[in-house]
Amino acid sequence: MRATVMYDAGDVRVETVPDARLIEPTDALVTVTRACICGSDLWPYNQMEHTEIGQRMGHEFIGVVDAVGSDVRTVKVGDVVVAPFAWSDGTCVFCQEGLHTSCLHGGWWARDGIDGGQGEAVRVPQADGTLVVLPVGEDDALMPSLLTLSDVMGTGHHAALAAKVGPGKTVAVVGDGAVGLCGVIAAKRLGAKQIIILGRHPDRIALAKEFGATDVVSERGDEAVERLRELTDGFGAHSVLECVGHEQSTVTALSIARPGGAVGRVGLPQQESIATTLTTFFDNVTIAGGPAPARAYIEELLPDVLEGRIEPGRVFDRVTDLDGVPDGYRAMNDREAIKVLIEF
Ligand SMILES: [Zn+2]
């Protein structure tokens, strides 16, 4: 089969790899029909050190079940399924608490011998716990939005929950990438009154407004903090969604929470220590977040997607086939595309 492999910063190839196949009785074999490139894939794309063996890529996919192991009960051959960006058993103590990313028997795609989503097929470990069957055909028009349940919509939702978004709240979303845009959707869905997006790409800002953003802050650093305070009676936001992970964006996020507010961090941190100040201590600001347990949110968000109340699939502004994946990385890295959908 063919799959995406990264060998070095900027060196993404599509090549023939060993066919995915069932190994454990709890596995399912899924033929991938849709996948995508993630903003977090751009981190190795910019910084990866050369490797001879290459790194398989991709952690967001939808597909059709091709075969199941003897212990698999909840998915069957022919089912259309979505996979969250981490696999999990669904039964351990952390899965029962809804924190599937800390599953005792789980793991991550595209490492430790597990296939990546940016390939023609995937062996899915812990298939019963990991996969969610979708009640639609494999070419349903809702596929882009359903695919965001793998990661970005669940991650935006997680940021909103960690930042304690609720009815009537003032929300600031730091970052206008796909996760930030989904954070806007999540904030509106949870009843926020004012949603301020911090970003500066015109196409992304336009989409943020369609998703429910009420105000835009295009400044950076201290100027962004000042502008946001102007928009919030000088207090700052109740809820801040940090959707970038860079040091400056984290400092900005922590600086714009109002006393008693909360910051939900879902941008993969690009620095060792979290920037903090005496201000966040004296202001009793909650700092929460981490990798979203996307598996826990799929069932909650799925009805909103199926009934058209949210359209997170609009974050995809480019479609490619598998051969176009290397150029898709380039386009996202050059900010030509917000998020690239891969159709097989
Ligand atoms: Zn578990």
Distance 252 CA to ligand 1 centre (A): 35
Distance 88 CA to ligand 1 centre (A): 5
Distance 103 CA to ligand 1 centre (A): 3
Residue 183 has a pLDDT of: 98
Distance 92 CA to ligand 1 centre (A): 4
Distance 146 CA to ligand 1 centre (A): 23
Distance 114 CA to ligand 1 centre (A): 17
Distance 97 CA to ligand 1 centre (A): 9
Is the distance from CB of 229 to CB of 206 less than 8 angstroms? no
Residue 9 has a pLDDT of: 97
Chain centre distance of CA 278:
31
Distance 299 CA to ligand 1 centre (A): 17
Distance 21 CA to ligand 1 centre (A): 23
Residue 268 has a pLDDT of: 83
The Cα–Cα gap between 64 and 284 comes to 48
Distance 155 CA to ligand 1 centre (A): 19
Distance 143 CA to ligand 1 centre (A): 27
Distance 125 CA to ligand 1 centre (A): 12
Distance 293 CA to ligand 1 centre (A): 11
Strand pairing category for 86-87 and 107-108 = antiparallel
Residue 75: helix, strand or coil by DSSP? Answer: coil
pLDDT in tens, the chain (344 residues): 999 999 999 999 999 999 999 999 999 999 999 999 999 999 999 999 999 999 999 999 999 999 999 999 999 999 999 999 999 999 999 999 999 999 999 999 999 999 999 999 999 999 999 999 999 999 999 999 999 999 999 999 999 999 999 999 999 999 999 999 999 999 999 999 999 999 999 999 999 999 999 999 999 999 999 999 999 999 999 999 999 988 899 999 999 999 999 999 998 887 777 766 678 888 999 999 999 999 999 999 999 999 999 999 999 999 999 999 999 999 999 999 999 999 99
Distance 126 CA to ligand 1 centre (A): 9
Distance 87 CA to ligand 1 centre (A): 9
Is the distance from CB of 191 to CB of 166 less than 8 angstroms? yes
Distance 19 CA to ligand 1 centre (A): 27
Distance 323 CA to ligand 1 centre (A): 35
The Cα–Cα gap between 342 and 322 comes to 6
Here the tokens at position 47 are 């910084």
Distance 106 CA to ligand 1 centre (A): 6
Label residue 39 exposed, middle or buried (CB < 10 Å: 0-12, 13-18, 19+): buried
Distance 102 CA to ligand 1 centre (A): 7
Residue 276 has a pLDDT of: 67
Residue 271 has a pLDDT of: 77
Write the DSSP assignment of 287-321 as a string of letters.
Answer: EEE-S--HHHHHHHHHHHHHTTS--GGGG--EEE-
Is the distance from CB of 263 to CB of 285 less than 8 angstroms? yes
Distance 291 CA to ligand 1 centre (A): 15
Distance 82 CA to ligand 1 centre (A): 18
